[in-house]
Each structure stands twice: as structure tokens, then as C-alpha cells.
Amino acid sequence: MSESAFPRDLEAPEPVEPPRPPAYTPGSAQPRLNRPVHERYPQIRPTSGYGDPRIRHTGPGPGAGTEQEPERSSKLTARLALSLTVVIGQLWGLTIVVDEWMSGDTGTAWWGAGFLVLSFLVVLGIWLIDPKDR
């Protein structure tokens, strides 16, 4: 089924494909491809970029990179440090609880489980302190 639904006009010229741009290879046999950059791209001038008089300021605007709210940053850092301390304590407590449970001392293991629940509630309370920071 390579034939078209409509027969081709025999008097019409063959369709011509548009010419493809030549692939650039250094040291090309075609001299027009070996021209210097400023001849190939005349819109790029030596003053383009850093020497362009239209560019007055480079980089971000004033105040970028400085802390806008240092109180908020210190508060968040303190909460993060406290939470990480509690999480490390939870991991240590979990190790102790599992060790006591495996040795058969279930009373101590239940006290340890209570410690883990309490420390989780502390972290939850820290998270609930200031809801606008989320």
C-alpha cells in the first residue's frame, strides 16, 4: 500500500527537498565554514557582554544574599537543633528499649516506650508552636 489514494500528476515536477546546512567540522574543505567567528556572526561585536554600554549593573539586585529576617532565622535554627537533639534521643531510646525487650525485661521496655512517645509529643509541640513558619 505504498501508493497514494490520489495518483500523482505525471506532468508535475518532482518534489524538491530543501537544502540542508552543511555540518561544520574543523578544517572543513568548504572555506566558508572556516571563516573566523566575527565573519560568520557579524552581530557579535567585541563590545558584546562586559563592554556593552547598555549593561549598567551585573548580578542580583541590592540586598540579595543578606538575611532579611535574622530573628526568624535564629528561631528556626534553634527549633531545628532542638528537634534534631530529640530525634537522636529517640534513636538512642529505641536502641535501649529493643535491647531491654529482647533480654526479657518488659517493664523497663514499657517505660522506654513511654519515653519515646513523650519525646515524639515534644517534637510535635515544637512543630505546632508557630504555624506561620511552615
- pLDDT given for residue 77 in this prediction: 87
Report how far residue 42's alpha carbon sits from residue 111's, in angstroms, rounded to the nearest whole number: 80
Please, what is the average pLDDT of the chain? 77
- In this prediction, residues 60-77 reach a mean pLDDT of 74
Residue 84 has pLDDT above 80, yes or no: yes
pLDDT tens, 106-132? 888 888 889 889 988 988 887 788 777
Report how far residue 133's alpha carbon sits from residue 75's, in angstroms, rounded to the nearest whole number: 10
- pLDDT given for residue 36 in this prediction: 74
pLDDT tens, 36-53? 777 777 776 666 566 666
Q: Please, are residues 28 and 34 in contact by the beta-carbon 8 Å criterion? A: yes
Residue 65 has pLDDT above 70, yes or no: no
Weakest-pLDDT range from 4-13, 48-57, 64-73: 48-57
- pLDDT given for residue 123 in this prediction: 81
- pLDDT given for residue 134 in this prediction: 60
Length of the chain measured in residues: 134
Report how far residue 87's alpha carbon sits from residue 104's, in angstroms, rounded to the nearest whole number: 26
- pLDDT given for residue 51 in this prediction: 61
